[in-house]
Amino acid sequence: MGGESIPIGRNFDGSLAGTRARPNFLQVLYRWIFTVDHKKLGILYISYGLLFLLVAGVEALMIRIQLFYPHNTFVSLFVYNRLFTMHGTTMVFFVGMPLIFGLANYLVPLMIGARDMAFPRLNAFSFWISALAGPLLYYSFVAGTGPAGTGSAPDVGWFAYAPLTERAFSPGHAMDYWTVSLLLSGVGSIGAAINILATVFCMRCKGMTLLRIPLLPWLYVTVSFLVLVAVSPLTACQIMLMIDRYLGGHFFDTRAGGSAMLWAHFFWIFGHPEVYVLVLPAFAVANEIIPVFSRKAIFGYPAMVAASISIGLISLGVWAHHMFTLGMTSFGNAFFTLSTMLVAIPTGIKIFNWLATMWGGKIRFEVPMLFSIAFLFQFLIAGLTGVMLSVSVWDWQLHNSYFVVAHFHYVLVGAIVFMIFAALYYWYPKMTGRMLDDRLGKWHFWLMVIGFHLTFDVMHFPGLLGMPRQIYNYEPDRGWTLMNQIISVGGFIQAIAVLIFVYNLVHSYFRGKKAGPDPWDAWTLEWLTSSPPPAYNFAIDPEVSSRRPLWDLKHPEDSDSAFE
């Protein structure tokens, strides 16, 4: 882009080639909006995700305030429905997806020794179309209102079961905003996934054969494949729903013979792999952090790659375990019970490999490692309740109860959010050139752990006692009151932890310790270049001869390449 003048104002030159002047606001804005640099887009994705994490977090807190007392009147029934719908939709599509794609954007090219993604402009397109989707969804609060005050933000649950979404039952425009927003977000995700695949397969630096790619890019290959196969059905569903709502089609219109089951199947064909789309990046981050802070190479690299790919493949055949209570044949029940249990095998391989990596290592308990260790325990428990729920007869008892809510929040918060925090503590120095404050980080970690366990450990029990999800009110004689109050208190402790984190992000940007290129004494290529990396990443294209190129550089007498 060097030397071109740009159409903002007169005589405005955004290129700044050869000038050392401090850029003014418009120039900074221009650089961020028109950028095709994978690092800037990665940071944009991450900021977008964190912004919506705060928004959806506030919605979660409002839900928890409402459930603090029996018969609480903090919000009305209608507002409550909107809150949990928006909370779920936002957390999955506008927190989870941007954060995982942000990390991929920032890290994948650096880790494989490339100067950018394979398609920088597609990358910018994918980001901006996703960035349009979130505000569009929230605009429904303003413009979604239908006749007689109905509508105003979607209120059908994040899985939006048919026929509730048909025009007859959701007459306002709220569902239209929901469906267009998810369609756009899906297009952005597919674009990003294609880009990641092309980057990892075609942009690797010299010497980086498939079995020398660091595990993070490898896992993102699996994630991208899952996005292509599994997010596309959601896009197809949104097209069908739009045909129903705008053209009078009957895909999910039960009055004309359409099937509500079909939506449930289609949605969960997307919905279950989506969980793995979100959790595999958490594994990917653990694969990078645990070896570095254990001072050992990852245990069982080929097994880790194989396990990730098999998790990806198995996850495509388990969707109907979300639908045991919707009625299936006994063959269907048995099949989806067994296929779901099968996921535990590759996942178990991963957990044992992480433990084996830590075993006998010189573990450094820095903040990223603390989050990773908590992740290991929490993800194990999340997996165990998952196996419990995979048994269809057990699921019949607990379906749509708070036990299920506790289970999937254990995965989404206990594994994914924890590892996203770990990733930000680990790579923030690379992104900004400054370390995040360690003391604030430890406060963040411990408050998060305490809050998390107060909320989500306790949440299993009202579920076992029969408290259904998505209720805005409950009777005082059910024995759920104290538990709900503990859950709510835990939620607020987590909110304080997240606020400390946000403060830390801002504070350390200005006041943090200088990081230098390689603050953690790590081994992958992103630590080879300066922090933050220059626009071209590497002045000279690196060449690698092992999985840990920086180990080879630091220990030429004991290089990994001798063992591969």
Partner 1 sequence: MASIPLQHSNHQETWTQPTRGTVAMVGLIIAESSIFTIFVVAYVYYLGRDVQGPTPKEVLDVPIFYTVCLLSSSFFIWLAERAIGHGKMAAFRLWWSITILLGITFLYGTATEWHKLIVRDQLTISTNLFGTTYYSLVGLHASHVVIGVIMMLVTVALAFAGAVGPQHAYRVRTLALYWHFVDAVWVVVFTVVYVVGR
DSSP 8-state class, residue 95: I
Q: Does 224 bind partner 1 (CB under 8 A)?
A: yes
Name the segment binding partner 1 (CB under 8 A); options: 57-65, 165-173, 239-247, 463-471: 239-247
Would you give the binding string for partner 1 spanning residues 510-539, x where CB under 8 A is met?
Answer: -------x-------x--xxx---x--xxx
Q: Does 309 bind partner 1 (CB under 8 A)?
A: no
| Residue 514 φ/ψ region, left for φ over 0, alpha for ψ in the -120 to 50 degree band, beta for the rest | beta
Comparison of 83 and 183: residue with beta carbon closer to partner 1: 183
Q: Does 1 bind partner 1 (CB under 8 A)?
A: no
Q: Does 258 bind partner 1 (CB under 8 A)?
A: yes
Sort 134 into a burial class: Cβ within 10 Å, 0-12 / 13-18 / 19+: buried
Instruction: Assess contact for 383 and 344: CB atoms under 8 A.
Output: yes
Interacting positions 60-119 with partner 1 (CB under 8 A): 118-119
Taking the complex as a whole, the smallest distance from the CB of residue 255 to partner 1 amounts, in Å, to 10
Q: Does 312 bind partner 1 (CB under 8 A)?
A: no
Taking the complex as a whole, the smallest distance from the CB of residue 31 to partner 1 amounts, in Å, to 18
Q: Does 251 bind partner 1 (CB under 8 A)?
A: yes
Q: How far apart are CA 89 and CA 124, in angstroms?
A: 23
Q: Does 339 bind partner 1 (CB under 8 A)?
A: no
Q: Does 250 bind partner 1 (CB under 8 A)?
A: yes
Would you give the binding string for partner 1 spanning residues 119-148, x where CB under 8 A is met?
Answer: x-----------------------------
Comparison of 229 and 342: residue with beta carbon closer to partner 1: 229
| Residue 172 φ/ψ region, left for φ over 0, alpha for ψ in the -120 to 50 degree band, beta for the rest | beta
Taking the complex as a whole, the smallest distance from the CB of residue 27 to partner 1 amounts, in Å, to 21
The binder of partner 1 chosen from 75, 132, 194, 489 (CB under 8 A): 194
Structure tokens at 399: 């379906």
Q: What are phi and psi of 136, to 5 degrees?
A: -60, -45
Name the segment binding partner 1 (CB under 8 A); options: 83-91, 418-426, 473-481, 546-554: 546-554
Comparison of 58 and 535: residue with beta carbon closer to partner 1: 535
Nearest in space to 495 (alpha carbons), one of 49, 53, 51, 52: 53
Q: Does 202 bind partner 1 (CB under 8 A)?
A: yes
Nearest in space to 451 (alpha carbons), one of 56, 57, 51: 57
Instruction: Assess contact for 292 and 427: CB atoms under 8 A.
Output: no
Q: Does 442 bind partner 1 (CB under 8 A)?
A: no
Q: Does 243 bind partner 1 (CB under 8 A)?
A: yes
DSSP three-state, residue 543: strand
Q: Does 193 bind partner 1 (CB under 8 A)?
A: yes
Comparison of 258 and 291: residue with beta carbon closer to partner 1: 258
> From the CA atom positions of the chain, what is the Rg in Å?
24
CB count in 10 Å sphere of residue 522: 20
Instruction: Assess contact for 400 and 351: CB atoms under 8 A.
Output: no
Interacting positions 264-283 with partner 1 (CB under 8 A): 266, 269
Total interface residues for partner 1 by CB under 8 A: 59
Q: How far apart are CA 222 and CA 201, in angstroms?
A: 12
Q: Does 185 bind partner 1 (CB under 8 A)?
A: no
Taking the complex as a whole, the smallest distance from the CB of residue 342 to partner 1 amounts, in Å, to 22
How far is CA 135 from each of CA 31, 111, 181, 187, rounded to the nearest angstrom?
22, 32, 9, 16
Q: Does 203 bind partner 1 (CB under 8 A)?
A: yes
Q: How far apart are CA 491 and CA 501, in angstroms?
A: 15
Comparison of 246 and 359: residue with beta carbon closer to partner 1: 246
Name the segment binding partner 1 (CB under 8 A); options: 261-269, 334-342, 402-410, 493-501: 261-269
Q: Does 21 bind partner 1 (CB under 8 A)?
A: no
Q: Does 342 bind partner 1 (CB under 8 A)?
A: no
Comparison of 194 and 303: residue with beta carbon closer to partner 1: 194
Task: Report the run of H or E that residue 481 belongs to, with start and end.
Answer: helix 481-511
Structure tokens at 39: 């690092």
Secondary structure in 3-state letters for 359-428: CCCCCCCCHHHHHHHHHHHHHHHHHHHHHHHHCHHHHHHHCCEHHHHHHHHHHHHHHHHHHHHHHHHHHH
Taking the complex as a whole, the smallest distance from the CB of residue 321 to partner 1 amounts, in Å, to 19
Name the segment binding partner 1 (CB under 8 A); options: 152-160, 203-211, 351-359, 368-376: 203-211
The binder of partner 1 chosen from 220, 225, 336, 354 (CB under 8 A): 225
Sort 561 into a burial class: Cβ within 10 Å, 0-12 / 13-18 / 19+: middle
Hey, CA dihedral for 509, 515, 516, 519, is it positive or negative?
negative
Amino acid at 484: N
Interacting positions 474-513 with partner 1 (CB under 8 A): none
Taking the complex as a whole, the smallest distance from the CB of residue 192 to partner 1 amounts, in Å, to 11
Comparison of 18 and 149: residue with beta carbon closer to partner 1: 18
The binder of partner 1 chosen from 41, 92, 133, 230 (CB under 8 A): 230
- The full length of the chain comes to 564
Nearest in space to 326 (alpha carbons), one of 393, 261, 266, 391: 261
| Residues near partner 1, by CB under 8 A | 118-119, 190, 193-195, 197-199, 201-204, 206-207, 224-225, 228-233, 235-237, 239-240, 243-244, 247-251, 256-259, 262, 266, 269, 517, 525, 528-530, 534, 537-540, 542-545, 549-550, 553
